[in-house]
Structure 1
Amino acid sequence: MDRHSHALIVGAGFSGLASAIKLQTHWKTTDYQIYDRDSEFGGTWQQNTYPGAASDIPALWYCLASDPKVDWKEPYPSQGELRQYIKDVAEKYNLRKRATFGAEIEKVEWLPDQQMWKASIKDVATGNKYTHTSRVVFMGKGCLVVPNKFKAAGIEDFKGPIMHTAKWDHTVDYKGKNVVVIGNGCSAVQVCAAIAPEVGTLTQFARTPQWMVPRPEWKWLKTIGETFPFMLGLVRFLMFLTLEANFSLFRGGWYARADRAVRTWVCTKLLKWHLPKKYHENSIPKYELGCKRIIYDCGYWKALHQKNVELSYDPIVRLTSNSVITKSGQEWPADIIVDATGFNVAASMGGLEIVGETGENLVDFWNGKVSAYETVMVANYPNMFFLFGPNATTGHNSVIFAIENALKWIENVASDLITGTATYVTVKNEAYDSWTQKVHEASKKMAFSTGGCVSWYMSASGAGHNGVTYPWTQFTAWWRARFPVKSDMIVKSKKNE
Structure 2
Amino acid sequence: MAQGEFPSNSAASSNDEHWRSQEPIHEERHLKVICIGAGASGLLLAYKLQRSFENLELILYEKNADLGGTWLENKYPGCACDVPAHTYTWSFEPNPSWSSKYAGSDEILRYFQNFTQKYDLAKYCKFNHRVSKASWNTKMGRWDVEVANLAEGTTVLDSCDILVNAGGVLNSWRWPDIPGLRDFKGVLLHTARWNPAVDLSGKHVGLIGNGSSAIQLLPAIRDLVSKITTFIRSPTWILSSSSFEQHVYSREERHAFESDPSAHLKYRKELECNGNSAFPLFIADSEVQKATFDSMVTLMKGRLQNKVLEELIIPSWAVGCRRITPGDKYLETLASDKVEVIYGGIEKITEAGCVGEDGVERQVEILICATGFDTSYKPSFPVVGENGKILSEVWAHEAQSYLGMAAAGFPNYFMFVGPNSPIGNGPLLIAIEAQADYMLKMMNRLQTENIHSFSPKPDAVQDFIEHKDAFMKNTVWEQECRSWYKSNSITGKVTALWPGSTMHYLEMIAEPRYEDWSFKYSGNRFAYLGNGRSQTETERRKFS
Does TM, normalized by the shorter one, top 0.5?
Answer: yes
Question: What pairs up with 1:182-193 in 2 under 5 angstroms?
Answer: 182-193=208-219
Give 1:137 deviation, angstroms.
Answer: 1.4
Amino acid at match of 1:236: R
SS of match in other structure, 2:276 = helix
Query: Are the equivalent residues in 2 in contact too, given 1:13–1:43 (CA < 8 A)?
Result: yes
Give 1:327 deviation, angstroms.
Answer: 3.0
Query: In structure 2, do the counterparts of structure 1 residues 197 and 474 end up closer, same or farther at CA, with 3 Å as the change threshold?
Result: same
Give 1:421 deviation, angstroms.
Answer: 6.0
2:144 alignment partner in structure 1: 118
1:376 alignment partner in structure 2: 405
Amino acid at match of 2:224: E
Q: State the alpha-carbon separation in 2 of the partners of residues 366 and 429 from structure 1.
A: 14
Identity of aligned residues (%): 28
Which residue, 108, 112, 117 being the options, matches 1:86? Answer: 112
Amino acid at match of 1:464: G
2:8 alignment partner in structure 1: none
Which residue, 292, 306, 310 being the options, matches 1:280? Answer: 310
SS of match in other structure, 2:174 = coil
Query: Are the equivalent residues in 1 in contact too, given 2:300–2:314 (CA < 8 A)?
Result: yes
Question: Is 1:316 aligned to residue 342 of structure 2?
Answer: no
Query: In structure 2, do the counterparts of structure 1 residues 391 and 67 end up closer, same or farther at CA, with 3 Å as the change threshold?
Result: same
Amino acid at match of 2:351: S
Query: Are the equivalent residues in 2 in contact too, given 1:409–1:482 (CA < 8 A)?
Result: yes
- Deviation string for 1:107-137 (max 9, x for gaps)? 1111111111111111123321121111111
Q: State the alpha-carbon separation in 2 of the partners of residues 118 and 460 from structure 1.
A: 33
Which residue, 61, 68, 83 being the options, matches 1:57? Answer: 83
Q: State the alpha-carbon separation in 2 of the partners of residues 152 and 490 from structure 1.
A: 45
Q: State the alpha-carbon separation in 2 of the partners of residues 233 and 139 from structure 1.
A: 32
- Deviation string for 1:248-306 (max 9, x for gaps)? 12224x5x2x2211111000000100013141221211222111011111221332344
Amino acid at match of 1:310: E
Amino acid at match of 1:130: V
2:415 alignment partner in structure 1: 386
Q: State the alpha-carbon separation in 2 of the partners of residues 439 and 233 from structure 1.
A: 34
1:342 alignment partner in structure 2: 372
Amino acid at match of 2:476: A
Structure exhibiting the larger radius of gyration computed from Cα positions: 2
Amino acid at match of 1:196: R
Give 1:231 deviation, angstroms.
Answer: 4.5
Which deviates more from structure 2 when the two are superposed, residues 468-477 or residues 141-150? 141-150
Which residue, 127, 130, 143 being the options, matches 2:156? Answer: 130
Query: In structure 2, do the counterparts of structure 1 residues 315 and 358 end up closer, same or farther at CA, with 3 Å as the change threshold?
Result: closer
Question: Is 1:431 aligned to residue 457 of structure 2?
Answer: no
Query: In structure 2, do the counterparts of structure 1 residues 396 and 172 end up closer, same or farther at CA, with 3 Å as the change threshold?
Result: same
Q: State the alpha-carbon separation in 2 of the partners of residues 13 and 316 from structure 1.
A: 34
1:17 alignment partner in structure 2: 43
Give 1:199 deviation, angstroms.
Answer: 0.5
Which residue, 314, 326, 332 being the options, matches 2:356? Answer: 326
SS of match in other structure, 2:34 = strand
Amino acid at match of 2:121: L
Question: What pairs up with 1:181-260 in 2 under 5 angstroms?
Answer: 181-214=207-240, 215-216=244-245, 225-252=257-284, 256=286, 258-260=287-289
Query: In structure 2, do the counterparts of structure 1 residues 462 and 486 end up closer, same or farther at CA, with 3 Å as the change threshold?
Result: farther
Give 1:10 deviation, angstroms.
Answer: 0.7
SS of match in other structure, 2:85 = coil
- Deviation string for 1:44-93 (max 9, x for gaps)? 11111111111011111101123221101111111111111111111112
Query: In structure 2, do the counterparts of structure 1 residues 457 and 335 end up closer, same or farther at CA, with 3 Å as the change threshold?
Result: same
Query: In structure 2, do the counterparts of structure 1 residues 396 and 270 end up closer, same or farther at CA, with 3 Å as the change threshold?
Result: farther
Which residue, 491, 507, 513 being the options, matches 1:479? Answer: 507
Query: In structure 2, do the counterparts of structure 1 residues 224 and 372 end up closer, same or farther at CA, with 3 Å as the change threshold?
Result: farther
Give 1:28 deviation, angstroms.
Answer: 4.4
Q: State the alpha-carbon separation in 1 of the partners of residues 263 and 397 from structure 2.
A: 45
Q: State the alpha-carbon separation in 2 of the partners of residues 356 and 462 from structure 1.
A: 31
Structure 1, unaligned stretches of length 5 or more? none
Higher-RCO chain (CA-CA 8 Å, sequence separation at least 6): 2
Q: State the alpha-carbon separation in 2 of the partners of residues 373 and 297 from structure 1.
A: 34
Which deviates more from structure 2 when the two are superposed, residues 419-428 or residues 46-55? 419-428
Q: State the alpha-carbon separation in 2 of the partners of residues 91 and 297 from structure 1.
A: 33
Amino acid at match of 1:76: Y
Q: State the alpha-carbon separation in 2 of the partners of residues 463 and 141 from structure 1.
A: 27
2:433 alignment partner in structure 1: 404
Which residue, 82, 94, 98 being the options, matches 1:72? Answer: 98
Query: Are the equivalent residues in 2 in contact too, given 1:27–1:419 (CA < 8 A)?
Result: no
Give 1:29 deviation, angstroms.
Answer: 5.7
Give 1:444 deviation, angstroms.
Answer: 2.9
SS of match in other structure, 2:337 = coil
Give 1:94 deviation, angstroms.
Answer: 1.5
SS of match in other structure, 2:115 = helix
Query: In structure 2, do the counterparts of structure 1 residues 384 and 411 end up closer, same or farther at CA, with 3 Å as the change threshold?
Result: same
Question: Is 1:301 aligned to residue 331 of structure 2?
Answer: yes
Question: Is 1:465 aligned to residue 493 of structure 2?
Answer: yes
Amino acid at match of 1:188: A
Q: State the alpha-carbon separation in 2 of the partners of residues 274 and 45 from structure 1.
A: 30
SS of match in other structure, 1:453 = coil
Which deviates more from structure 2 when the two are superposed, residues 417-426 or residues 327-336? 417-426
- Deviation string for 1:315-344 (max 9, x for gaps)? 433334333333334443300000011112
Query: Are the equivalent residues in 2 in contact too, given 1:183–1:206 (CA < 8 A)?
Result: yes
Query: Are the equivalent residues in 2 in contact too, given 1:460–1:468 (CA < 8 A)?
Result: no
Note the aligned Cα RMSD (angstroms): 2.4
2:394 alignment partner in structure 1: 365
Query: Are the equivalent residues in 2 in contact too, given 1:11–1:34 (CA < 8 A)?
Result: yes
1:266 alignment partner in structure 2: 295
2:472 alignment partner in structure 1: 443
Q: State the alpha-carbon separation in 2 of the partners of residues 462 and 432 from structure 1.
A: 25
Aligned length: 489
Amino acid at match of 2:349: L
Give 1:36 deviation, angstroms.
Answer: 1.0
Structure 2, unaligned stretches of length 5 or more? 1-29, 526-544
- Deviation string for 1:447-489 (max 9, x for gaps)? 111x221222113599732221111111111111213322222
Query: Are the equivalent residues in 1 in contact too, given 2:227–2:338 (CA < 8 A)?
Result: yes
Query: Are the equivalent residues in 1 in contact too, given 2:71–2:105 (CA < 8 A)?
Result: yes
Query: In structure 2, do the counterparts of structure 1 residues 454 and 149 end up closer, same or farther at CA, with 3 Å as the change threshold?
Result: same
Q: State the alpha-carbon separation in 1 of the partners of residues 423 and 472 from structure 2.
A: 12
Query: Are the equivalent residues in 1 in contact too, given 2:422–2:501 (CA < 8 A)?
Result: no
Query: Are the equivalent residues in 2 in contact too, given 1:144–1:345 (CA < 8 A)?
Result: yes
Query: Are the equivalent residues in 2 in contact too, given 1:293–1:396 (CA < 8 A)?
Result: no
Give 1:426 deviation, angstroms.
Answer: 2.1
Amino acid at match of 1:341: T
Query: Are the equivalent residues in 2 in contact too, given 1:6–1:31 (CA < 8 A)?
Result: yes
Query: In structure 2, do the counterparts of structure 1 residues 105 and 416 end up closer, same or farther at CA, with 3 Å as the change threshold?
Result: same
